[in-house]
Amino acid sequence: MIAELQDGIQLLRSKVADRIAKSRGLRDHWKGGYADSYFETQQPQLKIQAHGSISQMQAIIKQIQSAAEQAAADQRGYQASQAAPSPAAGGSPA
């Protein structure tokens, strides 16, 4: 899951960079209201939305990593408790 999210982050960064690079050439030749709208509103909004999506994916990665670390710690604790002899089973109390 983490690898897929990291791949998604890279893909999103690549697509945004590609779109911005391609739009630089358009700016010299594309004039009018639609061009103004794109360059003044839509392109900056694209960057903001992409940054927000990347931040969300990075936060999800951190949550997954934290949950995995907690699960591993819980598993180690469970295994340690199963390996220790209990006084009721004839082991000596510590």
Q: What is the pLDDT of residue 85?
A: 74
Residue by residue, DSSP assigns 29-67 as H--SHHHHHIIIIIHHHHHHHHHHHHHHHHHHHHHHHHH
The answer to whether residue 75 scores a pLDDT higher than 80 is yes
Give the residue, 88 or 24, on which the prediction is more confident: 24
Q: How far is CA 22 from the centre of its chain?
A: 26
Whole-angstrom Cα distance, residue 23 to residue 1?
33
The tens digit of pLDDT for each residue in 20-64 reads 888 888 888 888 989 888 899 999 999 999 999 999 999 999 999
% residues pLDDT > 70 (the chain): 90
C-alpha separations of 44 from 21, 31, 35 in Å: 13, 18, 13
First to last CA, the chain: 43
Whole-prediction pTM: 0.72
